[in-house]
Structure 1
């Protein structure tokens, strides 16, 4: 099923998708992403089983804002 996301964080450890900008929190040493999805090799977004993920600025390659539709695998 396709879902809409507002933020994509491109990083060395993976590409993270957020449903809205409020889920992105900038901290002194990096970014906290609340309830993120991660893009897999088959171009499908999967929900991470973590409340938040910390991504150090040294690992962040780019942050994109907009409306992005992505095939999403929902957990049962």
Structure 2
């Protein structure tokens, strides 16, 4: 039992690896087309997140409470 598993493992290691077909241009080709590089600043989309002072909790709760409920 163990010998057959080891034999199967050895035979599986000796088989040729399957290669995926090349769909894109060869990277070694100097004339291969490439997309143009685009500049994206590192801080694009940054918004400042500075701490602010505390606000009244009742106003904060009322602002986010579901609308239409009578109290």
For the aligned pair, the TM-score class normalised by the smaller chain equals under 0.3
The one of the two structures with greater contact order (alpha-carbon pairs below 8 A, sep at least 6) is: 1
Q: Greater helix percent: which structure?
A: 2
Q: Compute the TM-score of the two structures, normalised by the length of structure 2.
A: 0.19
- Tell which structure's C-alpha radius of gyration is larger: 2
